[in-house]
Amino acid sequence: MNGISGFPGCGRGWVKISRCCLAVGVSAVVAVSMYGCGGGGGHSDDSVTQPAEPVKTSVAIDSGIIAGQKLTSGVTAFYGIPYAAPPVGDLRWKEPQAITWTETKQTVKMGNACAQAAGTAANGDTISEDCLYMNIWVPPELKEDAEAPVVVYVHGGAFKTSSASPLRFGGEQLAKKGIVYINFNYRLGIFGNLALPELTAESSHNASGNYQILDIIYALNWVQRNIGKFGGDPKNVTISGQSSGGIEMGLLNVSPLAKGIFHKIVAQSGWPGPWANPPTLATHEQTGLKIMHAAGAANLAALRKKTMDEMLTAISDPTITAIGPSFAEPCIDGYVIPDKPDTIFAQGNHNDVPVIAGYTSGESAPTSVTNQLTNSTTIAAYQANLQSIFGGYWGTVYNLFVPAADTQTAISAALSSLKNAASSGRASVYHATNVIVHGKSPAWVYIFSRTQTPQSTGIAVAAPHGSDNQYWHGEIGAPNADGSTYIRSAWDAQLADQMMNALVAFAKTGDPSTSSVPWPKYNVIFRERLNFGDTSAVADWDNGLDFFATTWLDRY
């Protein structure tokens, strides 16, 4: 184990890591190192030219020196790197600001989760407005300026919950395959997306309400400035996100502020249009005024003095919850998001990069269509519901999603398939179609259909929303947000390896095909997609997806 920091044979000035991180297995060291195991500080004082060495556990970035740790896998991990100043006090609801420090900062514990109404983030994190922290996993023996591909992951959570710390979002397994992997926290909900006339007026860009995306863009710019120190290539950055993180992928795809700071996109289960375009700034400002009133504040200055808990209490007011989830979302502000995403694509003004877009077989996102699909109890009621939504096309839709019997159970099953095709399936196809029709870059589409069997019930279910995360990250034993876990087999491990290899290939070359799993490019004629399920193979669309990929692709 020579040449690894903290082990016998290390060169002068290398940082030691604490014994607890050496005495436990891989799975335990991940958990321990995230919550305090590790230590040491300092960096090499060699003054003569040395041969290239692996990335050290102490790295000088543009804001100061950080000290991470070596995991037993050989991966170097840096947890809780501050990438921007804490957005508190006068910095609440302002663009992220630079941060610096003078002494070596120990980055061996993941930072606070961003403030959220749920009370605590997944993984038991402490929530705080001081939450702009990043985590980096560096491949074993990777050298500074090695120009390894970089993957930056944006967690989901309906724009208002979760954090980067859960193991299912972790980067150790991908780093072992040669990827510099990054995830991070960003402002959520009311703290990330509040718009107000006063906030718009104080902005030099005459905009407000998108501090969440500005945090993400700031983190990506941080990567551009610093990732070479970790062996990563700032000219080869792939961004990935799931659910609201997937929607953020679509927004970054069209934001002029994100131009040139990423080079490929993986969008899991999320796209912001055309049936769910972000609200306008004017609409968001009016929502912001209602939130300010609910918080008992007369103006912006008073609102900034409210505590985190007082703000979280304000958004639980019935006048705010009645607005629906849109109060927590980004908005079309004319600056970060200049227009509707589909309009920006149609004009060819998007960031033209290769895209992977996909979804799972057991999810159905809320859209203007799915929100109108009632839980009918008879076929007659089901048919009437389809007529009210699809007009003259209702018979086509019905024939694609015919219930097996005139029972509520059979009708519910048909509705579930219809909703998945109309929402998540159509979202992925819509994103891919926009990429190839309005730009020069290729796109690939996938469905994750591996059935999942919860440990608690032993009953297999269609792949739920987000269940592909454990596979993309190679952490199939990691729990879900609710703490539940799934029964796994040897195939699950193999499938995860295939999916990680596809992601690694995409990050390295811009094409996710591998020698064992060829993945054809998407096109509007053949509309091929890869099915990650009981096998990994090119497969036909879901029942009815062709209708939503063609006739109903861009309808509201």
Query: So which residues are the catalytic ones?
Result: 243
> What distance in Å separates the CA atoms of residue 40 and residue 57, rounded to the nearest whole number?
9
- Any bridge partners for residue 134, and if so which? 81, 184
Distance CA 184, CA 83 (A): 9
Whether 164 contacts 34, CB under 8 Å: no
| Separation of alpha carbons 213 and 218, rounded Å | 8
| Single-letter code of the amino acid located at 472 | W
Q: Distance between CA atoms of 507 and 129, rounded to whole angstroms?
A: 32
Count Cα neighbours of 184 within 13 Å in the Cβ-side half-sphere: 26
Task: Please give the Cα distance from 314 to 295 (Å, whole number).
Answer: 5
Q: Which two tokens stand for residue 533?
A: 């399920």
Checking DSSP bridges between strand 133-138 and strand 76-82, what pairing results, if any?
antiparallel
**Could you tell me the CA-to-CA distances from 76 to 69, 103, 148, 523 in Å, in that order?**
6, 21, 14, 40
Question: Hey, which residues does 267 pair with through a beta bridge?
Answer: 241, 357
Check the CA dihedral 4-235-86-482 and report its sign. negative
Question: Which residue type is seen at 228?
Answer: G
Strands (E), 391-475: 443-448
Where b means 16+ CB within 10 Å and e means fewer, 278-307 reads: bbbbebbbebbebbbebbebeebeebbebe
What DSSP character marks residue 95? -
Least Cα distance to 166 among 530, 478, 398 occurs for 478
> DSSP H helical segments within 256-346, as ranges?
281-294, 300-305, 308-314, 318-321, 341-346
Cis (ω within 30 of 0) for the bond into 274? yes
Question: Which of 195, 210, 222 has its CA nearest to residue 255?
Answer: 210
DSSP string, 175-187: HTTT-EEEEE---
What CA–CA distances, in Å, run from 13 to 20, 318, 363, 519? 21, 58, 51, 46
- State how far the Cα of 235 lies from the Cα of 380, in Å rounded to an integer: 57
By three-state DSSP, how is residue 451 classified? coil
Question: CB of 449 within 8 A of CB of 531?
Answer: yes
Torsions phi, psi for 195 (to 5 deg): -120, 140
Residue type, 489: S
Q: Which residues of 322-360 are buried (b: 16+ CB within 10 A; e: fewer)?
A: ebeebbbbbbbbebbbbebbbebbbeeebbebbbbbbbb
